[in-house]
Amino acid sequence: AGLHSSLLFGQPWRTDIVPDCSALCVQVVAGLQTAGVIAGISQLVQPLPASLTALQSVHSQTYLQQLHSSSLKVAQVTELSPLALLPHSLVQRKVLQPMRLHVGGTVLAAALAVAHGWAVNVGGGMHHAHREDGSGWCPYADITLAVQRIR
């Protein structure tokens, strides 16, 4: 009850972008409100997507170039083969752009947690990505970037 209530979600109400995460975000907010941990959505903050410059600090240029120029690479990383058949501009807009927003959310949540004691980013936690590649639905190393930024 004595905690400063900073709470973060990457685009929680945009069900057109990431339906499962959005539904989860709504459920988490409702649960935290019911438990009296947060007063309402006024405690939610909107992150910015991670920039290419930020991503370059945790990923190789070669990997980022592959990811941002090939639907096949995105399909391999996300383990969703049908993505390879889609135009890359669509994959960028509907998959990688929301993922960059999740990365921005993780970085912001880490900073808020350091400043205020806690924060949540339901959309982050992409722990399968590393400098040269990604896997398991994780194209970007958001946790690594967040730790790097708060040091």
Q: At what angle do helices 142-150 and 97-116 cross, to 10 degrees?
A: 40
Q: Is the dihedral of CA 87, 90, 96, 97 positive or negative?
A: positive
* Annotation marks residue 102 as catalytic: no
Select which of 59, 68, 116, 128 is catalytic: 128
Distances from the Cα of 121 to the Cαs of 61, 103, 131, 135, in angstroms? 27, 9, 22, 20
Q: Which helix (H) or strand (E) is 61 found in, with range?
A: helix 61-67
Catalytic machinery residues: 128
